[in-house]
Amino acid sequence: MSFDLILSSPYVRARQTAEIVAEAFNARKNLECTETLAPSGEPKKLLKRVANVSPAPEDVLLVGHEPYLSELVSLLVSGERGSSVVMKKGGLCKLEVNSLRAGRCASLAWLLTPKQMSLMG
């Protein structure tokens, strides 16, 4: 597994996490920081940013903050920015998307809490 694109909030802790993952997956050249993942970011701008990557990335990692990421996942899974999906701080989720857009376009493949990940180690 690798990532064609790793986008991170420019905030220190998110950026450090993204750098660790990029190093582990030998994908440092695919890492970019973007204000669209800052807590005040706009999901539509983020989705436009991802959609404009050429060639289109197949595997994208987003590293950001709560509650922004839960709202983004909810938007992509249910079409609403409400909290239909709630991520824990430090959690991970995988979405499967055929055609990325601001609205219902994804299915939730899995959602892991930090506690669940620690049990896997």
pLDDT at 83: 72
Residues 6+ apart with CB under 8 A from 46: 7, 34, 36, 37, 62, 72
- Separation between Cα atoms, residue 28 and residue 51, nearest integer Å: 20
pTM: 0.91
Q: pLDDT per position in the chain (121 positions), as tens?
A: 789 999 999 999 999 999 999 999 999 999 999 999 999 999 999 999 999 999 999 999 999 999 999 999 999 999 998 878 889 988 999 999 989 999 999 999 999 998 998 888 6
Task: Please report the beta strands in 66-116, taking only residues with DSSP state E, as ranges in sequence order.
Answer: 92-97, 106-112
Domains of the chain and CATH, by start: 5-120 (3.40.50.1240)
* Tens digits of residue pLDDT in 86-100: 899 889 999 999 899
> pLDDT exceeding 90 applies to what percent of the chain?
84
pLDDT at 75: 94
H-only helix segments in the chain: 12-24, 43-51, 68-78, 114-120
DSSP 3-state of 96: strand
- Separation between Cα atoms, residue 8 and residue 29, nearest integer Å: 13
pLDDT at 81: 86
